[in-house]
Structure 1
Amino acid sequence: MTEHARPDVPLLGAYAAKQCPYRLFREHDPTEAAVPAPPDDALQELFDDGIAFEASIGEELVELHGDAVAVIPGRSEAEPDERRALTDAALAAGTPIILGALMQRDTTGRRLGEIDVLLRVGDRYRPIDVKHHRCTTNADEDSDEAEDTEEAADGLSTPVQTLDLLGPAVAVAGLEAKYREDDCLQLAHYYRMLQAHGYAEPHAVGGIIGTERVVAWFDLESPRFSTLTPQQSDGAITYHRRHRTTKRTALDRYDFEFDFRLRVVDEAIERRDRSASPPVLPVSVVECTRCPWHDPCHADMEAVDDVSLVKPVGYPEWSVHRFMGVTTVTQLAALDPATYVDTPLTEHALVNQIRSAQAAVAGQMLIDPDWDESLVPRADVEIDLDLENAARVYLWGARLSRVPDDWPEPAGSYTAFASFDELDDVGEAELVARLWAWLDDIGRRAAGRTVRIYGYSIGSTEVAALRRIAAGGAVPGLPSIDDVMALPWVDLLPLMRRKYWSNWGHGLKVVAAAAGFAWRDDDPGGYASMGWYRDAVAGVDREANIARLLMYNEDDCAATAALRVSP
């Protein structure tokens, strides 16, 4: 933590350490001429959904804990100074749970912070952030992650618990905390703020409440995050010789990233001459797709054919390439991997980057010359399965894409198991029971013939949803988890990654287009479909939106089928 005597220097919030430093530079550069774009409809929808989810968690915590909860007014309800004073009062009173805590500025550490939930632990406080995504993974005793969790628990006897925060911790069986670096960096920011004001626990722990509506606890002093940061010395790149990476704690990662961004901001605010080289350059990373500075940064990178425009090239790889004199996509596409033998990049990673660069130069996805179509498993009866979900899965679509000549239904027959009314656990489970009865019937009729069920990233979507709903046991007729796992699933995503060299990822919309498939809807997409669903449930153009959703889902199923017959 760095002390600064000047009172006018900017203070940074909890997102700074995990955001692109060039974004911060542009935001604080007085010579910047470009204008950031407002959030588009999809991004605004994400914001709105996150705010609504956070509010629902707050309501649940108040319902569970009553007067033990202090609710600080939100941004639209009170001025910052009043909110900070109310937070101070709640902290001084030892309130067990504080929602929406707006902390006093940490002028020494140059931090600002509003913490979703503060939980009193002893005479100190523990930060909890609410996130509209999962905060856990399914426990697997045989996985490396499970072993790491056991080895590095460091006293977290209940790493995942229910939202009953004040009673004895009730562990949630079958789940383990998912260490996402961006979440943990944010928790580290809050821990440092609490530390600056004398309210932090001796050992740094933070929590995330995710869409599972549980709390996952994270040890911020456990080495969890691998870094590949090449060091230049005497004309060579050095790195960890055994693992090529070094595992660091969330606090280590946060302190490094936050201090670096403070230096970037300080240089930005002093800039007066636009011709002067900035301390950072734009680098294309995942964050760019939803950044308000995307268009001007992307234009700058395209103007110089920046090597980071190759999708697998992140900041660490970009640093290596620049050190090796490879600064453009065109140079990377022509690279001989043998010239990189003494760099931190593995041969596999480098070859993947070169192939993506070659696709980028060609302007289209390229089929691997060694691709063998027989790698895709085929069957007498082929079913393509796809789900649509909002808060719950409201539609399961199944397409009989391949059937024997004597099969009663023709190839291409589509069946939907759907509800366009508000769903609870029972309603969601009833759809699965109907789907399962249909699959069981197909299996009986196909006796003596092979059957396979295809999907795209099916393990983390359709199979995961079936397992979750089956485990709930809300209605009769549901399969067991063993029954779900015994089905002949085929995930086409890893196969398409082998088949295509791509600089645009391997999402279904991208790969299916390369295979010659086109959706009938003019605006097919997951975010758009969620809007159609909400309108259908609300009665807005209900029949039209239902028809649109069914057509979109049927086309998703047809798209995965097209991948098996494409060139």
Structure 2
Amino acid sequence: MIDAATLTRCRHRVYLDTAYRSLIADVPEDTGVQMRREAAAVHRLVVKDALMAADPVGWVVVPSELSHAERVRRTTRALEDGARYVWNATFADDAEAGRRGRCDLLIADPAGGYIPVLVVNHKVTDPGSGAMTSPFGRWEPDADVARKVRPQLRDQLGAVHVHRLLASLGQDGRSAVGGAIGFGGDVILVHDLLAVGPTYDARFADRLAIARGEAVTAPVKVSECRSCPWWSECGETLRRTRDVSLVAAGSRADALYAAGIRTIDELAAWTSDAPPEEWPHGDFAEAVVVAQAWLAQAPLVRRTETVAVQRADVEVDVDMESYQEHGAYMWGTLLDRRDGSAPRYRAFTTWEPVPTMDEARSFGEFWTWLMGVRAEAHESGRTFAAYCYSRAAEDKWLIGSARRFAGMDGVPTEAQVREFIDGPEWVDMYIAVSQNFVCPDGKGLKKVAPVAGFTWRDDEAGGEASMAWYRAAVGYDDAPESDGALITTDLSQRERLLEYNEDDVRATHALRVWMAGEDVLRLPTAADLARAYR
């Protein structure tokens, strides 16, 4: 039996989950997966309430706490009675086809039958044009001049899956379309299910054959491995066989397999100037260097003889902490005046659960302080630079906070923020690392800073772990008192978050100092490795 999630899951995991499920029965769910699942559940409830408020007539809500059999019974009755909307629709297993599933929302199709609509906690559109959307509170699809589709194959396959389940009941929408409501969505994105039907059929047949033991699979490294309970076993197999997917994962591994390159050794010895015919993306020459580095156990490889990194007389490292899409609760900084004094850490925080207007205060204080340090440096004739690692998140919350809290004390205008982040004094250390090094184990700060000798004090430090710490730090998991106040918070988790944030800014500082020093020259260059393996 195949559900919609299986269609985009790793093929080998489908086999393992089916054949050996009992072996991981007691393995705790990955923290990141759990957090995303919980956030998605909250998002679905928010969307449901908004939809029902927009059009309160004709709803059937199937309670999640009911047994599967009762949810199926209520869904079937709602469809037979011609309900306009069915929330949390649950279907009986289609044993003959091997299909099972549920759907967040079914909307009565004006042409007959029902339209499946998925409520997902990711973006489904981007600014642009060409998408087909329907208003949030009614089903009236039309071309959207303000949005373009953000490709999400899993959503399209999921909608087709439900459409096929509805077909088994004679309730499939005659217009053959499906919908998706994404994060922050105020419209329903409309998908043409006929267009994706052939892809669905191929995926479904493949996964069903695997689940039934009719197709052979083998481990291969993909992005899903990071949170997969089978990774320890698969990873060991891949390392033992020196499988090329360890250094070129996903579709790049598929292209290498097709070219007859199955091991890291074979990739490292590649001599042709041209990549394999089906190479999908990325610099193939760099992939070869990564393979050579893996064999040499080199954690980083210099692209050239010299390493360059921007320095300034006064330096500030910045690291922002946010909770999902709700808000930025911390702006951590490390000030190094480079005058012989020790760098000083300072954090600007709000411990009111985000979103909260108190973000305006902490953000305004952070911005005022940062611009004050910058102005002081300029007035004394010294250069200034602020550094972050992978600036996308910081840029997003800098601009977003300026918009949300416009006009409040200390809060800059969006133009002021853009002028700063688009200028030469806002430096992304991720870009500096990318320009100077090939990184066999990845370019994340947790991967490269240890090469510079830096270690985090908390062994569990990481973005996903910090989400759980934050929930405890502000009492997200506690029931509210009658006056709305939170019952308890774990203050120790606040200290843990501050320590984690401080270590992050100290890591970017340590990395920069190391890159500007002599020890970095001990790393091999790409040319060194090429000579050794060819």
Question: Structure 2-normalised TM-score?
Answer: 0.82
Deviation at 1:185, TM superposition (A): 2.6
Count of aligned residue pairs for this structure pair: 492
- Alignment map for 1:303-452 (pairs within 5 Å): 303-310=240-247, 312-314=248-250, 316-338=251-273, 341=275, 343-345=277-279, 349-370=283-304, 372-374=306-308, 376-390=309-323, 391-401=326-336, 403=337, 405=339, 410=341, 412-447=343-378, 449-452=382-385
SS in structure 2 of the partner of residue 267 of structure 1? coil
Q: Are positions 1:476 and 2:412 aligned together?
A: no
Distance 1:384 1:172 in 2: 42
Q: Please report the RMSD computed on the Cα atoms of aligned residues, expressed in angstroms.
A: 3.2
Q: Are positions 1:526 and 2:463 aligned together?
A: yes
> 1:98-155, CA deviations, whole angstroms, 9 ceiling, x for partnerless residues?
2111134445543211111223342443322233344444x3xxxxxx4xx53xx3xx
Q: Are positions 1:94 and 2:66 aligned together?
A: no
The change in CA–CA distance for 1:282 and 1:46 in structure 2 (over 3 A counts) is same
Deviation at 1:280, TM superposition (A): 2.0
Distance 1:416 1:386 in 2: 9
Identical aligned pairs, as a percentage? 29
Q: Which residue does 1:113 correspond to in 2?
A: 101
- Alignment map for 1:153-232 (pairs within 5 Å): 153=131, 156=132, 164-166=136-138, 177-196=149-168, 197-210=170-183, 212=184, 214-215=186-187, 217-220=189-192
Q: Which residue does 1:500 correspond to in 2?
A: 437
Task: Tell me which amino acid in the other structure corresponds to 1:48.
Answer: E
SS in structure 1 of the partner of residue 455 of structure 2? coil
Task: Tell me which amino acid in the other structure corresponds to 1:131.
Answer: V
> 1:364-418, CA deviations, whole angstroms, 9 ceiling, x for partnerless residues?
41222416433x33333322111112232111112223x3649xxx562222110
Distance 2:322 2:386 in 1: 19
Task: Tell me which amino acid in the other structure corresponds to 1:373.
Answer: V
Give the conservation status (yes or no) of the 8 Å contact 1:430–1:475.
Answer: no
Mind listing any 5+ residue stretches in structure 1 that lack a counterpart?
1-10, 140-145, 223-248, 269-277
Distance 2:299 2:435 in 1: 12
SS in structure 2 of the partner of residue 288 of structure 1? helix
SS in structure 1 of the partner of residue 310 of structure 2? coil
Deviation at 1:85, TM superposition (A): 2.0
Task: Tell me which amino acid in the other structure corresponds to 1:87.
Answer: T
Q: Which residue does 1:302 correspond to in 2?
A: 239
Give the conservation status (yes or no) of the 8 Å contact 1:426–1:475.
Answer: no
Distance 1:287 1:342 in 2: 25
SS in structure 1 of the partner of residue 173 of structure 2? coil
Distance 1:169 1:433 in 2: 42
Give the conservation status (yes or no) of the 8 Å contact 2:141–2:190.
Answer: no
Task: Tell me which amino acid in the other structure corresponds to 1:113.
Answer: G
The change in CA–CA distance for 1:105 and 1:347 in structure 2 (over 3 A counts) is closer
Distance 2:144 2:317 in 1: 33
Give the conservation status (yes or no) of the 8 Å contact 1:337–1:347.
Answer: no
Task: Tell me which amino acid in the other structure corresponds to 2:286.
Answer: N
Deviation at 1:45, TM superposition (A): 3.6
Deviation at 1:343, TM superposition (A): 1.9
> 1:73-100, CA deviations, whole angstroms, 9 ceiling, x for partnerless residues?
21xx322232112112222333333211
Distance 1:294 1:560 in 2: 30
Q: Which residue does 1:262 correspond to in 2?
A: 208
The change in CA–CA distance for 1:430 and 1:179 in structure 2 (over 3 A counts) is farther
Give the conservation status (yes or no) of the 8 Å contact 1:184–1:218.
Answer: no
Distance 1:342 1:466 in 2: 42
Q: Which residue does 2:398 correspond to in 1?
A: 466
1:565 to 506, 513, 517: 513
Deviation at 1:456, TM superposition (A): 1.5
Give the conservation status (yes or no) of the 8 Å contact 1:24–1:265.
Answer: yes
Moved more, 349-358 or 192-201: 192-201
Q: Which residue does 2:4 correspond to in 1?
A: 14
> 1:148-193, CA deviations, whole angstroms, 9 ceiling, x for partnerless residues?
x53xx3xx156xx6xx423889999986542223333323322333
Give the conservation status (yes or no) of the 8 Å contact 2:40–2:120.
Answer: yes
Distance 2:96 2:137 in 1: 32
Q: Are positions 1:48 and 2:21 aligned together?
A: no
Question: Structure 1-normalised TM-score?
Answer: 0.78
Q: Which residue does 1:549 correspond to in 2?
A: 497
The change in CA–CA distance for 1:194 and 1:541 in structure 2 (over 3 A counts) is closer
Distance 1:527 1:171 in 2: 38
Q: Are positions 1:82 and 2:70 aligned together?
A: yes
SS in structure 2 of the partner of residue 437 of structure 1? helix
- Alignment map for 1:279-298 (pairs within 5 Å): 279-298=216-235
Q: Which residue does 1:3 correspond to in 2?
A: none
SS in structure 2 of the partner of residue 462 of structure 1? helix
Give the conservation status (yes or no) of the 8 Å contact 1:378–1:452.
Answer: yes
Deviation at 1:486, TM superposition (A): 1.1
The change in CA–CA distance for 1:102 and 1:542 in structure 2 (over 3 A counts) is closer
Distance 1:483 1:96 in 2: 49
Deviation at 1:279, TM superposition (A): 2.0
Q: Which residue does 1:128 correspond to in 2?
A: 117
Give the conservation status (yes or no) of the 8 Å contact 2:389–2:430.
Answer: yes
SS in structure 1 of the partner of residue 2 of structure 2? coil
The change in CA–CA distance for 1:194 and 1:99 in structure 2 (over 3 A counts) is same
Give the conservation status (yes or no) of the 8 Å contact 2:133–2:141.
Answer: no
Moved more, 12-21 or 201-210: 201-210
Task: Tell me which amino acid in the other structure corresponds to 1:199.
Answer: D
Give the conservation status (yes or no) of the 8 Å contact 1:385–1:557.
Answer: yes
Distance 1:347 1:433 in 2: 41
Deviation at 1:534, TM superposition (A): 2.0
> 1:9-41, CA deviations, whole angstroms, 9 ceiling, x for partnerless residues?
xx21111210112222233348x9955644244
Task: Tell me which amino acid in the other structure corresponds to 1:207.
Answer: A
Q: Which residue does 1:5 correspond to in 2?
A: none
SS in structure 2 of the partner of residue 166 of structure 1? coil
Distance 1:175 1:414 in 2: 42
> 1:46-68, CA deviations, whole angstroms, 9 ceiling, x for partnerless residues?
33333343334334444444454
